[in-house]
Amino acid sequence: MLSGDDTKVIVWDWRTATQLSVLLGHLSPVTAVEMSLDGQLMVSGDKDGVIIVWSTVTQEPLKTLSIHHGPVLCCSISPSGKHFISSGQDEHICIVDTLTGETVETLDNALDGRGLTAKYSFDGTRIQIGGEKGNILVWSIEKACLLYEIQAHNGKVLDCSWSGDSRLLLSVGADGKARLWDAAAGAELCQVSKGERESLNFLF
Summarize pLDDT for 174-202 with one digit per residue, the tens: 999 999 999 998 999 999 987 654 444 44
Residue-range domains of the chain with CATH: 2-157 (2.130.10.10)
Q: How do residues 11-39 score in pLDDT, each as one tens digit?
A: 888 888 898 889 999 999 999 999 999 98
CA dist 103 → 62, 93, 132, 160 (Å): 16, 10, 23, 24
Q: CA dihedral in degrees (69, 55, 159, 197; nearest 10)?
A: -160
Contacts of 10 by beta carbon, 8 Å cutoff, 6+ apart: 1, 2, 3, 4, 19, 21, 22, 23
Instruction: Kindly state the DSSP code that residue 56 receives in the 8-state scheme.
Output: T
Q: Quote the pLDDT of residue 144.
A: 93
- Angle, CA 76 vertex, CA 132 and CA 25 arms, to 5°: 110
pTM greater than 0.75 (yes/no) = yes
**Ranges of the chain whose pLDDT falls below 50:** 2, 197-204
Sheet hosting strand 9-13, strand order edge to edge: 2-3, 9-13, 18-23
Whole-number pLDDT of residue 204: 45
Contacts of 140 by beta carbon, 8 Å cutoff, 6+ apart: 125, 126, 146, 147
